[in-house]
Amino acid sequence: MVTTEEQAQNKHPGREPAVLSCTSAVTGLPQKRYYRQRAHSNPIADHSFDYPARPQDVDWHAMYPNIQEGQQVSFADIGCGYGGFLVTLGEMFPEKLSIGMEIRVKVSDYVVDRIKALRHKSGEAGGAYQNIACIRTNAMKYLPNYFAKGQLEKMFFLYPDPHFKRAKHKWRIINQALLSEYAYVLKKGGLVYTMTDVEDLHKWIVSHMEQHPLYQRLDEQAANADPITPKLYQSSEEGAKVVRNKGDHFLAIFQRL
Ligand SMILES: C[S@@+](CC[C@H](N)C(=O)[O-])C[C@H]1O[C@@H](n2cnc3c(N)ncnc32)[C@H](O)[C@@H]1O
Protein backbone atom coordinates (compact mmCIF):
# COMPACT_ATOMS: atom_id res chain seq x y z
CA MET A 1 0.00 0.00 0.00
CA VAL A 2 1.40 3.41 -0.93
CA THR A 3 -0.22 6.14 1.09
CA THR A 4 -0.93 9.72 0.02
CA GLU A 5 1.79 10.79 2.42
CA GLU A 6 4.25 8.58 0.56
CA GLN A 7 3.08 9.75 -2.86
CA ALA A 8 3.62 13.33 -1.71
CA GLN A 9 7.21 12.44 -0.86
CA ASN A 10 7.88 11.43 -4.46
CA LYS A 11 8.87 14.95 -5.46
CA HIS A 12 10.90 14.22 -8.56
CA PRO A 13 8.70 13.61 -11.60
CA GLY A 14 10.41 11.56 -14.28
CA ARG A 15 12.31 9.48 -11.77
CA GLU A 16 11.18 6.00 -10.70
CA PRO A 17 8.54 6.39 -7.98
CA ALA A 18 9.99 5.98 -4.52
CA VAL A 19 8.92 2.58 -3.32
CA LEU A 20 7.86 3.24 0.20
CA SER A 21 6.04 0.61 2.10
CA CYS A 22 4.05 0.53 5.29
CA THR A 23 6.45 -2.10 6.63
CA SER A 24 9.21 -0.96 8.96
CA ALA A 25 12.71 -1.53 7.53
CA VAL A 26 13.94 -2.11 11.08
CA THR A 27 11.44 -4.63 12.45
CA GLY A 28 10.05 -6.03 9.19
CA LEU A 29 6.57 -5.52 10.68
CA PRO A 30 3.76 -3.25 9.44
CA GLN A 31 3.58 0.18 11.06
CA LYS A 32 0.33 1.04 12.80
CA ARG A 33 0.34 4.66 11.69
CA TYR A 34 -0.59 3.56 8.16
CA TYR A 35 -3.63 1.66 9.39
CA ARG A 36 -5.31 4.17 11.73
CA GLN A 37 -9.08 4.38 11.68
CA ARG A 38 -11.59 6.23 13.84
CA ALA A 39 -12.24 4.41 17.06
CA HIS A 40 -15.87 3.37 16.82
CA SER A 41 -17.72 1.53 14.13
CA ASN A 42 -21.48 1.12 14.49
CA PRO A 43 -21.93 -2.64 15.01
CA ILE A 44 -25.67 -2.44 14.32
CA ALA A 45 -25.43 -0.64 10.97
CA ASP A 46 -25.66 -2.76 7.87
CA HIS A 47 -22.05 -2.86 6.71
CA SER A 48 -21.73 -4.94 3.60
CA PHE A 49 -19.73 -7.93 4.74
CA ASP A 50 -19.11 -11.08 2.81
CA TYR A 51 -19.85 -13.90 5.18
CA PRO A 52 -20.18 -17.66 4.81
CA ALA A 53 -23.60 -19.30 4.88
CA ARG A 54 -22.25 -22.06 7.16
CA PRO A 55 -18.99 -22.77 9.07
CA GLN A 56 -18.16 -25.61 6.65
CA ASP A 57 -18.13 -23.07 3.80
CA VAL A 58 -15.18 -21.15 5.27
CA ASP A 59 -11.85 -21.66 3.50
CA TRP A 60 -9.88 -22.28 6.71
CA HIS A 61 -6.89 -23.57 4.79
CA ALA A 62 -6.40 -20.13 3.22
CA MET A 63 -6.02 -18.71 6.74
CA TYR A 64 -4.13 -21.57 8.39
CA PRO A 65 -1.85 -23.18 5.78
CA ASN A 66 -0.91 -26.05 8.12
CA ILE A 67 -4.42 -26.89 9.32
CA GLN A 68 -4.96 -30.65 9.70
CA GLU A 69 -7.95 -32.61 8.47
CA GLY A 70 -10.75 -32.19 11.04
CA GLN A 71 -8.90 -29.47 12.98
CA GLN A 72 -10.98 -26.47 14.06
CA VAL A 73 -10.46 -23.03 15.52
CA SER A 74 -10.57 -23.27 19.33
CA PHE A 75 -9.98 -19.71 20.56
CA ALA A 76 -11.64 -16.48 19.37
CA ASP A 77 -10.44 -12.97 20.26
CA ILE A 78 -13.55 -10.88 19.66
CA GLY A 79 -12.80 -7.28 18.66
CA CYS A 80 -9.10 -8.11 18.49
CA GLY A 81 -8.02 -4.57 17.59
CA TYR A 82 -4.40 -4.51 16.43
CA GLY A 83 -3.88 -8.16 17.39
CA GLY A 84 -1.33 -7.99 20.22
CA PHE A 85 -3.20 -10.51 22.36
CA LEU A 86 -3.88 -12.77 19.37
CA VAL A 87 -0.12 -12.97 18.74
CA THR A 88 0.39 -13.90 22.41
CA LEU A 89 -2.24 -16.65 22.11
CA GLY A 90 -0.42 -18.02 19.07
CA GLU A 91 2.82 -18.15 21.03
CA MET A 92 1.29 -19.64 24.21
CA PHE A 93 -0.75 -22.32 22.43
CA PRO A 94 1.14 -23.57 19.37
CA GLU A 95 -1.21 -26.59 19.03
CA LYS A 96 -4.41 -24.53 18.99
CA LEU A 97 -5.85 -22.41 16.21
CA SER A 98 -6.83 -18.89 17.30
CA ILE A 99 -8.82 -16.35 15.32
CA GLY A 100 -9.10 -12.59 15.77
CA MET A 101 -12.35 -10.96 14.68
CA GLU A 102 -12.32 -7.24 13.99
CA ILE A 103 -14.94 -4.99 12.44
CA ARG A 104 -12.70 -2.08 11.32
CA VAL A 105 -11.26 -2.67 7.89
CA LYS A 106 -7.88 -0.94 8.27
CA VAL A 107 -7.35 -2.46 11.69
CA SER A 108 -8.09 -5.99 10.47
CA ASP A 109 -5.83 -5.33 7.44
CA TYR A 110 -3.09 -4.42 9.90
CA VAL A 111 -3.51 -7.70 11.80
CA VAL A 112 -3.48 -9.73 8.56
CA ASP A 113 -0.27 -7.95 7.43
CA ARG A 114 1.25 -8.34 10.89
CA ILE A 115 0.65 -12.10 10.84
CA LYS A 116 2.05 -12.34 7.31
CA ALA A 117 5.20 -10.48 8.39
CA LEU A 118 5.61 -12.56 11.57
CA ARG A 119 5.30 -15.78 9.56
CA HIS A 120 7.82 -14.51 7.06
CA LYS A 121 10.28 -13.51 9.79
CA SER A 122 9.99 -16.85 11.53
CA GLY A 123 10.59 -18.82 8.33
CA GLU A 124 7.27 -19.47 6.56
CA ALA A 125 6.05 -23.11 6.35
CA GLY A 126 7.59 -24.70 9.41
CA GLY A 127 7.80 -21.46 11.38
CA ALA A 128 5.62 -19.94 14.03
CA TYR A 129 2.37 -17.96 13.76
CA GLN A 130 0.76 -20.43 11.34
CA ASN A 131 -1.87 -20.95 14.03
CA ILE A 132 -3.32 -17.42 14.13
CA ALA A 133 -5.47 -15.55 11.62
CA CYS A 134 -7.78 -12.55 11.51
CA ILE A 135 -11.16 -12.05 9.84
CA ARG A 136 -12.83 -8.73 9.23
CA THR A 137 -16.37 -9.26 10.38
CA ASN A 138 -19.09 -8.08 12.69
CA ALA A 139 -18.87 -10.55 15.55
CA MET A 140 -22.23 -9.34 16.87
CA LYS A 141 -23.90 -10.70 13.76
CA TYR A 142 -22.01 -13.54 12.16
CA LEU A 143 -20.45 -15.83 14.80
CA PRO A 144 -22.69 -18.84 13.99
CA ASN A 145 -21.74 -18.43 10.33
CA TYR A 146 -18.13 -19.16 11.29
CA PHE A 147 -18.37 -21.56 14.25
CA ALA A 148 -20.34 -24.74 14.81
CA LYS A 149 -22.30 -25.44 17.97
CA GLY A 150 -19.98 -26.12 20.91
CA GLN A 151 -16.82 -25.53 18.90
CA LEU A 152 -14.97 -22.82 20.83
CA GLU A 153 -12.98 -23.52 23.98
CA LYS A 154 -12.27 -19.90 24.81
CA MET A 155 -13.63 -16.49 23.84
CA PHE A 156 -11.94 -13.23 24.75
CA PHE A 157 -13.55 -9.80 25.08
CA LEU A 158 -10.65 -7.54 25.98
CA TYR A 159 -11.24 -3.85 26.58
CA PRO A 160 -14.47 -3.82 24.54
CA ASP A 161 -15.82 -0.44 23.43
CA PRO A 162 -17.65 0.98 26.47
CA HIS A 163 -20.36 2.95 24.58
CA PHE A 164 -20.96 5.15 27.60
CA LYS A 165 -24.21 6.82 26.51
CA ARG A 166 -27.37 5.03 27.53
CA ALA A 167 -28.75 5.22 23.99
CA LYS A 168 -25.68 3.31 22.77
CA HIS A 169 -25.79 0.54 25.38
CA LYS A 170 -27.41 -1.61 22.67
CA TRP A 171 -24.07 -1.45 20.84
CA ARG A 172 -22.29 -3.17 23.74
CA ILE A 173 -20.87 -6.50 22.64
CA ILE A 174 -22.03 -8.21 25.85
CA ASN A 175 -25.81 -8.24 26.11
CA GLN A 176 -28.45 -10.82 27.00
CA ALA A 177 -29.33 -11.88 23.44
CA LEU A 178 -25.72 -12.14 22.30
CA LEU A 179 -24.77 -14.14 25.40
CA SER A 180 -27.06 -16.93 24.16
CA GLU A 181 -25.32 -16.84 20.80
CA TYR A 182 -21.90 -16.99 22.47
CA ALA A 183 -23.14 -19.94 24.57
CA TYR A 184 -24.16 -21.69 21.33
CA VAL A 185 -20.67 -21.55 19.81
CA LEU A 186 -18.90 -22.33 23.12
CA LYS A 187 -18.12 -25.82 24.34
CA LYS A 188 -19.61 -26.86 27.69
CA GLY A 189 -16.90 -26.01 30.22
CA GLY A 190 -15.46 -23.39 27.81
CA LEU A 191 -14.40 -20.01 29.15
CA VAL A 192 -15.28 -16.38 28.41
CA TYR A 193 -12.58 -13.91 29.45
CA THR A 194 -13.52 -10.28 29.94
CA MET A 195 -11.25 -7.40 30.86
CA THR A 196 -11.98 -3.67 30.86
CA ASP A 197 -10.68 -0.47 32.41
CA VAL A 198 -14.23 0.94 32.76
CA GLU A 199 -15.82 -0.04 36.06
CA ASP A 200 -19.36 0.69 34.91
CA LEU A 201 -18.92 -1.62 31.90
CA HIS A 202 -17.40 -4.31 34.13
CA LYS A 203 -20.48 -4.18 36.37
CA TRP A 204 -22.71 -4.36 33.28
CA ILE A 205 -20.80 -7.42 31.99
CA VAL A 206 -20.89 -9.20 35.35
CA SER A 207 -24.59 -8.55 35.90
CA HIS A 208 -25.57 -9.71 32.40
CA MET A 209 -23.38 -12.81 32.58
CA GLU A 210 -24.61 -13.69 36.09
CA GLN A 211 -28.24 -13.33 35.04
CA HIS A 212 -27.71 -15.72 32.16
CA PRO A 213 -28.41 -19.36 33.10
CA LEU A 214 -25.53 -20.76 30.99
CA TYR A 215 -22.59 -19.00 32.63
CA GLN A 216 -20.94 -19.13 36.02
CA ARG A 217 -18.24 -16.73 37.14
CA LEU A 218 -14.91 -18.25 38.23
CA ASP A 219 -13.93 -17.24 41.74
CA GLU A 220 -10.90 -15.01 42.21
CA GLN A 221 -8.55 -17.87 43.05
CA ALA A 222 -9.48 -19.86 39.92
CA ALA A 223 -9.31 -16.74 37.73
CA ASN A 224 -5.85 -15.86 39.01
CA ALA A 225 -4.60 -19.43 38.63
CA ASP A 226 -5.34 -19.40 34.88
CA PRO A 227 -2.01 -19.01 33.01
CA ILE A 228 -3.72 -16.66 30.53
CA THR A 229 -4.77 -14.18 33.22
CA PRO A 230 -1.45 -12.29 33.52
CA LYS A 231 -1.46 -11.77 29.73
CA LEU A 232 -4.88 -10.11 29.78
CA TYR A 233 -3.48 -7.03 31.48
CA GLN A 234 -1.10 -5.87 28.82
CA SER A 235 -0.65 -8.17 25.83
CA SER A 236 -3.24 -6.25 23.83
CA GLU A 237 -2.61 -2.71 22.63
CA GLU A 238 -5.50 -1.35 24.68
CA GLY A 239 -4.30 -3.18 27.81
CA ALA A 240 -0.78 -1.80 27.35
CA LYS A 241 -2.25 1.70 27.09
CA VAL A 242 -4.13 1.22 30.37
CA VAL A 243 -0.92 0.03 32.06
CA ARG A 244 0.99 3.06 30.68
CA ASN A 245 -1.72 5.42 31.96
CA LYS A 246 -1.82 3.60 35.31
CA GLY A 247 -5.53 2.90 34.81
CA ASP A 248 -7.69 0.27 36.50
CA HIS A 249 -8.23 -3.25 35.22
CA PHE A 250 -11.41 -5.18 35.91
CA LEU A 251 -11.24 -8.90 35.16
CA ALA A 252 -14.05 -11.43 35.08
CA ILE A 253 -13.90 -14.97 33.68
CA PHE A 254 -17.00 -17.11 33.18
CA GLN A 255 -17.49 -20.79 32.52
CA ARG A 256 -20.05 -22.03 30.00
CA LEU A 257 -22.22 -24.50 31.95
C1 LIG B 1 -11.28 -0.78 22.48
S2 LIG B 1 -10.84 -1.84 21.18
C3 LIG B 1 -9.96 -3.17 21.99
C4 LIG B 1 -9.12 -3.94 21.03
C5 LIG B 1 -8.34 -5.12 21.62
N6 LIG B 1 -9.21 -6.13 22.16
C7 LIG B 1 -7.36 -4.64 22.63
O8 LIG B 1 -7.52 -5.01 23.82
O9 LIG B 1 -6.42 -3.92 22.26
C10 LIG B 1 -12.36 -2.65 20.72
C11 LIG B 1 -12.26 -3.29 19.35
O12 LIG B 1 -13.42 -4.04 19.06
C13 LIG B 1 -13.76 -3.84 17.70
N14 LIG B 1 -15.20 -4.14 17.55
C15 LIG B 1 -16.23 -3.43 18.05
N16 LIG B 1 -17.41 -4.00 17.72
C17 LIG B 1 -17.10 -5.11 17.00
C18 LIG B 1 -17.89 -6.12 16.37
N19 LIG B 1 -19.21 -6.08 16.43
N20 LIG B 1 -17.26 -7.10 15.70
C21 LIG B 1 -15.90 -7.14 15.63
N22 LIG B 1 -15.10 -6.21 16.20
C23 LIG B 1 -15.69 -5.22 16.89
C24 LIG B 1 -13.42 -2.38 17.46
O25 LIG B 1 -13.27 -2.06 16.11
C26 LIG B 1 -12.12 -2.25 18.25
O27 LIG B 1 -10.98 -2.54 17.48
pLDDT single digits (tens) 139-189: 999 999 999 999 999 999 999 999 999 999 989 999 988 999 999 999 999
Residue 161 beta carbon below 6 angstroms from any ligand 1 atom: yes
- In this prediction, residue 46 carries a pLDDT of 67
| Rounded CA separation 100/112 (Å) | 10
- In this prediction, residue 3 carries a pLDDT of 40
Residue 64 pLDDT > 50, yes or no?
yes
238: Cβ contacts below 8 Å, ≥ 6 apart: 81, 158, 159, 197
Q: What is the ipTM of this complex?
A: 0.99
Distances (CA, A) of 184 to 52, 55, 147, 178: 17, 13, 9, 10
Residue 244 pLDDT > 80, yes or no?
yes
Residue 253 beta carbon below 6 angstroms from any ligand 1 atom: no
Residue 162 beta carbon below 6 angstroms from any ligand 1 atom: no
Can you tell me the mean pLDDT for 218-242? 96
Give the residue numbers of the binding site for S-adenosyl-L-methionine.
Answer: 79, 102-103, 138-139, 158, 236-238
pLDDT single digits (tens) 184-217: 999 999 999 999 999 999 999 999 999 999 999 9
Which structural domains are found in the chain, ordered by start? 55-256 (3.40.50.150)
